Amino acid sequence: MHPSNHYYGHAHVLARYCGLDERDPPRLHGYLQHGWNIGDGLAPDHPYLPGIPSFLWSERTRRRAWSVGRRQVYAIGAPWAYLLRLQPEPAGQRREGTIWYPFHGWEGQHVLGDHERLIAQIRATEPGPVTVCLYWQEYQSRRMRRRYERAGFRVICHGFRGAWWEGADPRFLDRQLAELRRHRRVASNRLSTAVFYGTLAGCEPAVYGDPMQLEREQPHFGGQPRIRRDWPELHGEQVDLPAARAVAAAELGADLLLDPAELRRLFGWPNPFQQPYPEDAALLEEIRR
């Protein structure tokens, strides 16, 4: 299993959906898209072997992957959309305020930008209480946390995404879903996975403010200019909610979800409900003895 398949507990959520033990997901023979992007669905800085299947979130992403020469690509929907099917929103869920996701770096690249100016814009725009969710790397910086806490914001972190099969948190997405459902709005200074997740989970989205820059940032597949050009429905302090929700559903493949049996067949995963043949049962019993 490629290590990115474990990021954010994605393989764990899909194993849970398929009726398997999410604590130890079976090996997934292929590459599972782990975040929204405007290319072929796979991280451009990861090595991939030719001839290995790719499991992508949307039909649009599948077509882009095909156009750049990838084969054995399947659009199956995002693990997030499966999680929403597993955990329907409770009746009478009360929402207030905004959860804000500042654009973040990662272990290999840090973000360059003016956080104080961004904080001022958030305070001037958001009418209710604000929760700021930082990536673990920024959250570990006391200086960064204090910047947002001094502005009166609640500051949280969803946890670690994992790396090289270590540190993956099977409940990362569960925590993110619980937080999103507490809030009426979801916002960021760049269109991102979290904005699409929040929109599909019932939040009103917004994308505004200085998009900042990554160190040595490369504008893969057109970068920010293309994102603003191709997804105008999600940009602005206030957006057209029905249009934004339709876009989020399409980008996350919410209309493509397979049933558990279909997903198990595609991944080559076992069927936990299948009764063994009599000779198999006898063999298992002999092994146990």
- Answer whether CATH 3.40.50 is correct for domain 98-251: yes
pTM of the model: 0.90
Side chain identity at residue 141, one-letter code: S
Spell out where the chain has E strands. Answer: 31-32, 54-56, 73-75, 98-101, 111-112, 130-133, 154-156, 185-188, 204-207, 213-214
CB count, 10 Å around CB of 51? 7
Q: Where does residue 19 rank: exposed (0-12), middle (13-18), buried (19+ CB within 10 A)?
A: middle
Please choose, from the candidates 263, 269, 270, the residue with its C-alpha nearest in 3D space to the C-alpha of residue 28: 269
> 80-117: per-residue pLDDT in tens?
999 999 999 998 889 999 999 998 766 556 677 889 99
279 Ramachandran zone, left/alpha/beta (phi>0; psi -120 to 50): alpha
Q: What are the sequence ranges of the domains in the chain? A: 3-86+252-267, 98-251
Question: Are 233 and 51 spatial neighbours (Cβ–Cβ below 8 Å)?
Answer: no
Per residue in 120-174, pLDDT (tens digit) is 999 999 988 999 999 888 898 889 899 999 999 999 999 987 665 566 678 999 9
237's enclosing H/E stretch is none
Q: What is the pLDDT averaged over residues 64-77?
A: 91
- At residue 284, the pLDDT reads 46
The Cα–Cα gap between 253 and 134 comes to 26
More confident residue, 282 or 274: 274
Question: What per-residue confidence (pLDDT) applies to 160?
Answer: 86
Q: Exposure string (b/e) for 156-173, b if CB count within 10 Å is 16 or more? A: bbbbbbbeeeeebbbbbb
Each residue of 168-222: pLDDT tens digit? 678 999 999 999 999 999 999 999 999 999 999 999 999 999 888 766 666 666 6
For β-strands 213-214 and 111-112, DSSP reports them as antiparallel
Residue at 138: amino acid letter: E
